[in-house]
Amino acid sequence: MRLPWLSETTDKPTHNYTRSGWRIPQLNLWDIYTDPNKENPALVSIRTKALIQEMRANRKTSPAMRPSSSTLYNCVGLIFCSRRGHVDIRHIDAILRQDGYNEISLDECVAGDLVLYTFEGAPSHIASVSCVHMFRNDVTRLSVLSKWGKAGEVEHDHDQVPAHCGVPTAYFSTRLNHVT
Amino acid sequence: MSLNEYFREIESLQFQIQFSVVGGLNILQLAMERSQTLLDLRLAIAEDAKLAQKIHERITLLLSKVETETQLSYDESIAAYLFCLFKESPAAAKAASQIILKYGGLWWSVQLAHCVQQQMQTELA
């Protein structure tokens, strides 16, 4: 059942902060859209299905699409702003530092950890680990939840993303046993 | 490739979705720098100055379609045209960015238009 939309509470942009208290730089969606909470879900769905179809054609594993939302947010907004904001990926290094994340290896990943992607050396995408697949004691692959830009949310193998999302290059966790 | 073929490719769903996944404006610009289609179009604009005006007209045409055609938003297509103009014909890019900002309602196109305006102002100063 869909909960009632409280439109009177959305007339001003909201702010999100890291654990250190640093305000995450966010684009003011109201400067761009007349109503940023009304992204066209049909369009999001068309884009996501087309991307998945293209990945299937390239013999990559089939990602699972989640229902589309009418709110505009991106991969960083999904993880750090609870699906409420669009944060440019160029701020990701600062956010990870201000939130106390530590870099870990692929083998140390558990559900909830993060995968950072880079395109031509620049941070390009981030995803949250949803499941770790193991064979004997080795991690064989990770399932992750991410949002592909203006397309929808997708659960996919961590190394199966559209070309412009980049390639997985680093893994991060806030678990205390990784603090050195 | 003829200009109409460039238009067809850049306005296709396949072209739009490959750029719609980017997580930031710098990645969008980096991806557009590497696109062979856009490199070819930029070369064509550099060789024939009249193409800049035709692309400007195409941007205006697409902007008028945005509200009526929901199957494609043309956001990435318009951003791609603006990117090519900015690289090869800054004056045409400035004029196109003003029209894009006037229409609004698009994501990457509006951000890129703001970026074009800022860079032009910086260069003038």
Domain count, chain B: 1
- On whether the pTM is more than 0.80, the answer is yes
- pLDDT computed for residue B106 by the predictor: 84
Beta carbons of A45 and B120 less than 8 angstroms apart: no
> What residue segments make up the domains of chain A, in order of their start?
37-173
- C-alpha distances (whole Å) from A126 to each of A51, A87, A158, B4, B87 are 18, 11, 10, 37, 29
CATH value of A37-173 in 1.10.155, 1.10.3470, 3.90.1720, 1.10.20: 3.90.1720
What's the gap between Cα A9 and its chain centre?
Answer: 25
Kindly determine whether residue B23 and residue A162, on different chains, have CB atoms separated by under 8 Å. no
Q: Name every residue in B having a CB less than 8 A away from some CB of A.
A: 13-14, 16-27, 30-31, 34, 70-73, 75, 104-107, 110-111
Of A27, A46, A162, the CB nearest to B18: A162
Q: Which domain holds residue B72?
A: 3-124
A80 touches chain B (CB under 8 A): no
Could you say which residues of chain A have pLDDT below 50?
A: 34, 36, 180
Kindly determine whether residue B26 and residue A151, on different chains, have CB atoms separated by under 8 Å. no
Kindly determine whether residue B107 and residue A122, on different chains, have CB atoms separated by under 8 Å. no
Could you say which residues of chain B have pLDDT below 50?
A: none
CA angle A53, A57, A59 (to 5 degrees): 120
Beta carbons of A119 and A113 less than 8 angstroms apart: no
- pLDDT computed for residue A73 by the predictor: 87
CA distance B94 to B82: 9
Residues in chain A with CB shorter than 8 Å from the CB of B29 are: none
Kindly determine whether residue B23 and residue A88, on different chains, have CB atoms separated by under 8 Å. yes
DSSP A149: T
- pLDDT computed for residue A31 by the predictor: 60
Residues in chain B with CB shorter than 8 Å from the CB of A81 are: none
Q: What ipTM, to 2 d.p.?
A: 0.88
- pLDDT computed for residue B7 by the predictor: 96
Establish, for the pair of chains A and B, how many residue pairs have beta carbons separated by less than 8 Å: 88
